[in-house]
C-alpha cells in the first residue's frame, strides 16, 4: 500500500498542500458521505472565509451554514463550529493529540480522529471511513452490512491490525485513495489494484457480492404544506431548530408554525416540490394566501419567524429544494459566495 501511495497516491488535493491540523479536520468533515470533486469548491470557499480555527470559532453560525449550503448533512457544519470554539477555548487553538481527547470534540468520531492524528500529526492511529470499510470487507470477505455494530467492530480490528506504526498517514491516505479510485462500489478495477493477490473477493470472484448491502426498506412519504407569503418585497421565512433536518437553515414556514391555518378558500397552491432524504421522501405543497385574505392566519409568537427582503435571499443559508423553489419563483440568479 505504501508503494501504491508513493506511485499513485493523491498528494495535491487542496487540503494536502500546506497541510495543518485545521485543513485536515475541515476536509475530513466535508468528505464524510461526500465525493472529493464535490468537496473541493466548498473547501476552497470555506478556507478563504475562515482561514484558521480561531476565525471559524469567531464566525456567526449563519455564516458557517451559508458556506455549507447545498453540501447537506448540516449537523456537520454546526458541529464544526461548536468544535472550533472548544479547540480555541480548551486546547489553545491546537487539536489535542490523543484519540481519547480528540473524539471528545463535537462531530469527531474515531475514524475522523484517527485521520487528523495520522495525517496532520503523523501519529499511528487507524481509520475506518466508508472507502476503507469497502476495501477491507472485500479483501477479508467480511460478512454483513457494515452499519451493523458487530461488523463495524470486526472491520476496526482488521484495520488496527494492518495499520503500520510508521508512515501511518501515508498508509491511511493510500487506503482512502484505493477505495475512492480503484475499489469503487460498482466497478472495482482489480487488474490495477495493489491488493489483488491478497483480496479474497477478487480471488473467489465475489466482488459484486461484497460488501454486503443494507437490506432495503421502503422509505415513507411525508407530506407537508408550506406557506409562501410575500408582502411587497418581503417574504416570511422560518429558521428551523438547530437540530434535525435542515437544522439552523431558513425555510418556508410549515403550517405547524402558524397558529391558525388559512381557510381553504383563501389560499392558492403556488407550487409543489419533492425531495428525498435518507429515511423519507418529502412532498411539499406551497400555498399562498390570496391578497385580501393575508391576515387570516396569525404567526405564533415565535422569534424564529421573520420577514426577509427577497433581494437578500442570496445571503441566507437555505435548504437546496427551498432555494431552488424560491430562486425560480422570484427569478433570482444563482450567485456563488
Catalytic residue numbers read 28
- Residues 129 and 114 sit within 8 Å (Cβ to Cβ): no
Nearest CB to ligand SF4, comparing residues 81 and 202: 202
Q: CB burial class (10 A; 0-12, 13-18, 19+) of residue 147?
A: exposed
Beta strands 221-227 and 281-289, pairing class = parallel
- Give, as ranges, the residues between 78 and 97 that touch ligand SF4 (CB under 6 A): none
Q: To the nearest whole angstrom, how small is the minimum distance from the Cβ of residue 234 to ligand SF4?
A: 55
Q: 470533486: which residue's cell?
A: 37
Determine the Cα–Cα distance for residues 196 and 233; give it in Å rounded to an integer: 62
Q: Which residue from 180, 167, 178 is spatially nearest to 118, judged by alpha carbons?
A: 167
Find the binder of ligand SF4 among 84, 182, 226, 235 (CB under 6 A). Answer: 182
State the binding string over 2-41 for ligand SF4 (x if CB under 6 A, else -). Answer: ----------------------------------------
- Residues 313 and 319 sit within 8 Å (Cβ to Cβ): no
Determine the Cα–Cα distance for residues 115 and 121; give it in Å rounded to an integer: 9
Nearest CB to ligand SF4, comparing residues 105 and 195: 195
Find the binder of ligand SF4 among 31, 115, 201, 236 (CB under 6 A). Answer: 201
- Give, as ranges, the residues between 121 and 180 that touch ligand SF4 (CB under 6 A): 135, 138-139
Q: To the nearest whole angstrom, how small is the minimum distance from the Cβ of residue 192 to ligand SF4?
A: 8
Contact status: 202 vs ligand SF4 (CB under 6 A)? yes
Nearest CB to ligand SF4, comparing residues 169 and 188: 188
Taking CA atoms, 298 is separated from 109, 203, 256, 262, 327, in Å, by 44, 67, 12, 9, 26
Binding site for ligand SF4 (CB under 6 A): 135, 138-139, 182-183, 188-190, 193, 195-196, 199, 201-202, 207
Amino acid at each position: 500500500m505504501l508503494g501504491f501511495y508513493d506511485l499513485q497516491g493523491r498528494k495535491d488535493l487542496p487540503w494536502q498542500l500546506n497541510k495543518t491540523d485545521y485543513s485536515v479536520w475541515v476536509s475530513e468533515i466535508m468528505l464524510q458521505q461526500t465525493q472529493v470533486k464535490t468537496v473541493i469548491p466548498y473547501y476552497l470557499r470555506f478556507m478563504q472565509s475562515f482561514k484558521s480555527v480561531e476565525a471559524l470559532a469567531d464566525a456567526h453560525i449563519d455564516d458557517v451554514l451559508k458556506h455549507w449550503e447545498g453540501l447537506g448533512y448540516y449537523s456537520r457544519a454546526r458541529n464544526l463550529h461548536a468544535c472550533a470554539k472548544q479547540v480555541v477555548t480548551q486546547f489553545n487553538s491546537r487539536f489535542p493529540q490523543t484519540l481519547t481527547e480528540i473524539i471528545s470534540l463535537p462531530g469527531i468520531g474515531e475514524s475522523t480522529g484517527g485521520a487528523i492524528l495520522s495525517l496532520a500529526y503523523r501519529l499511528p492511529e487507524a481509520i475506518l471511513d466508508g472507502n476503507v470499510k469497502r476495501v477491507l470487507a472485500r479483501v477479508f470477505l467480511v460478512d454483513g452490512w457494515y452499519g451493523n455494530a458487530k461488523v463495524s467492530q470486526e472491520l476496526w480490528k482488521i484495520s488496527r491490525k494492518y495499520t503500520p506504526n510508521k508512515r501511518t498517514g501515508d498508509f491511511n491516505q493510500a487506503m482512502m485513495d484505493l477505495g475512492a479510485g480503484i475499489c469503487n462500489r460498482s466497478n472495482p478495477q482489480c487488474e490495477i489494484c495493489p491488493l489483488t493477490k491478497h483480496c479474497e473477493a477478487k480471488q473467489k470472484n465475489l466482488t459484486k457480492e461484497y460488501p454486503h448491502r443494507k437490506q432495503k426498506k421502503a422509505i415513507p412519504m411525508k407530506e407537508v404544506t408550506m406557506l409562501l407569503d410575500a408582502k411587497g418585497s418581503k417574504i416570511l421565512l422560518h429558521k428551523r431548530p438547530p437540530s434535525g433536518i435542515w437544522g439552523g437553515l431558513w425555510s418556508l414556514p410549515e403550517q405547524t408554525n402558524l397558529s391558525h391555518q388559512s381557510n381553504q378558500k383563501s389560499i392558492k397552491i403556488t407550487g409543489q416540490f419533492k425531495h428525498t432524504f435518507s429515511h423519507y421522501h418529502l412532498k411539499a405543497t406551497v400555498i399562498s394566501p390570496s391578497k385580501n385574505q393575508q391576515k387570516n392566519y396569525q404567526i405564533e409568537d415565535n422569534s424564529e419567524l421573520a420577514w426577509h427582503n427577497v433581494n437578500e435571499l442570496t445571503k441566507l443559508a437555505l435548504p437546496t429544494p427551498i432555494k431552488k423553489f424560491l430562486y425560480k419563483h422570484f427569478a433570482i440568479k444563482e450567485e456563488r459566495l
